[in-house]
Amino acid sequence: MYAPGPARASRDLANYEVPELGFCFPVEREGTMSKFRILVADDLSPEGLEILEKAGEVEVRQGMAEQELRDALPSCDALIVRSATHVTARVLEAADTLTVIGRAGIGVDNIDVEAATERGIVVMNTPEAGAVTTGELAVALMMCLARNISAADASMKAGKWEKSALLGTELKGRVLGVLGLGRIGSVVADRGCGLQMQVIAHDPYVDQSRVPAGVRLVTFEELLQQSDFLSVHVPKSNDTLGLIGAAEIAKMKEGARIINGARGGIVDESALCDALDAGRLGGAALDVFEREPLPEDNRLRHTQRLILTPHLGASTREAKRNVSREMARQVVKCLRTGVVLNGINVPRIAPAEAAQVGPFLRLAHNLAAFLAQVFPGEMHSLRITLQGDLLSASAHPLQVSALAGALQHRAEGPVTPVNAENIAQRMGVRWHTESHALKRDFVNLIRVEALLGEERHFVSGTVLGHRHGRMVELDRFLLDAIPEGPMLVTFHEDQPGVVGQIGQILGDARINISRVQLGSAENGGDGDVQMGILNLSSPLGARPLKRIQDLPSIRRACAVNG
């Protein structure tokens, strides 16, 4: 259950209102933004479309059924939806090039996040842009309930004058209970304090230090028992479905009122109608429903003291404009730079730290990819060791970046930071991340160690100047190499002419060498064997690679493609 008990160690973030956070998605991209295709499946403001159109090829197709969306999705890099379009697992089967799904709004229950994660597709939302608008609607509905405004309007339009029958109540001094203190819940709580209400709240994931001034945290039971007005602002999940049912309503004050502007199904509609018909509740207001649009024959339409609005939570000009612009910016940033803001299914880091941590995320990815391609054998385990406070604070993002790099050339299908842990688990690859000192020469250092077949190999690296990733150690070889493909890696005899022979073969293949790094084993542990890392202008084909492997001085050579 969402409400009772202490906070859980892990949480369902699918619809939760969380602070804006970022993650660097270390995927190499080729070409210019003009080659990216962006499909907009729901209503987006002109301001948002303008941002997208400056960045890529945009197609707007609203009101698509499932099969139409499947047919439109192939070759698209990004899909943007609001609440109307349902992105199902069947739809995602056609997502052959999709990198990101953007939900212009908060709730992502219309997106199969699990299926997207399985395919390595980022899902992001815009939790901030519509928070004020949605919170203000909840407050407006509360005022309508307190003063019977909807009933008075209907009565007047029916030619009646029922002043005495529409006696209301003041909000000042009444108890406002807020279920869920995310962005929207916090807006409602703040407005309640401004109306001089007594504001209490329940949220098992929020401690007192994050509670708005004037708001008192209580248990779920206390929230039900004390609230005159109960406003619901929690995500829809297995924990919250039917959270406010007959048993919970029975614990509320007689005459209390309920407002649900979160998601349909959190308040049990049948139980709510029963309580209103019996006079147990003083009223209720719903902006969201178990089925949307609400069927014409639904019982809610005929229940008294019940205000219904057609999911107007984010329906203001300001919110539509803000949500559209914010989502467009996030999608463009993801496609251009790999930085994910407000990602639902990726590890999260604060945007303020993204500039520093981002290069290390790419480094972790590249080091692990290098190790997995240079050495043969089935991968059994991966260990990531982090040195430095900056890296230790971002251990999980660094871990999934390394896993994605290690598995991208060994797994079937795409591997990204979104699905890397799931794929590693299926492949039987164990992983572990730890933090401790490795080498005093570096403030921040990443070491990736893999058990490949019967042998263990490791590679270490750091970032210079907050931008440039460097490989500094491979097993016993000391290096200063750039771990970015395409590359040629050789283990060869330490004798004159080797690099010249390699250069001749690459020249014959019209492949330029952009950088050469030669490394010798530390303490002479590998005798007369030297290691060479050559950064190339284009990937190395099988034929020139075979010629290099056949050179007498070459003990082993392989191509690395990033």
**E strand spans, 369-424:** 379-387
CA–CA separation, 477 and 375 (whole Å): 14
User: Residue 246 belongs to what H/E stretch?
Assistant: helix 246-250
Q: Which residues are catalytic?
A: 263, 292, 311
Max distance between CA atoms of the chain, in angstroms, equals 105
CA–CA separation, 49 and 390 (whole Å): 37
Asked if residues 448 and 382 have their Cβ atoms less than 8 Å apart, the reply is yes
Q: How do beta strands 477-481 and 455-464 pair?
A: unpaired
| CA-wise closest residue to 109 among 289, 236, 266, 13 | 236
For residue 212, cis peptide bond before it (omega within 30 degrees of 0): no
| CA-wise closest residue to 429 among 469, 402, 465 | 402
Residues 6+ apart with CB under 8 A from 295: none
Give the position of tokens 């219904």.
308
Give the position of tokens 């199902």.
88
- C-alpha dihedral sign at 52, 58, 64, 68: negative
Amino acid, single-letter form, for residue 450: A
CA–CA separation, 401 and 404 (whole Å): 5
Q: Which two tokens stand for residue 226?
A: 């004390």
Q: What angle do CA 52, 345, 287 make, to 5 degrees?
A: 75
Q: Which two tokens stand for residue 294?
A: 């609400």
Q: At what angle do helices 317-337 and 46-53 cross, to 10 degrees?
A: 10
Residues 6+ apart with CB under 8 A from 547: 505
Q: How do beta strands 513-520 and 468-474 pair?
A: unpaired
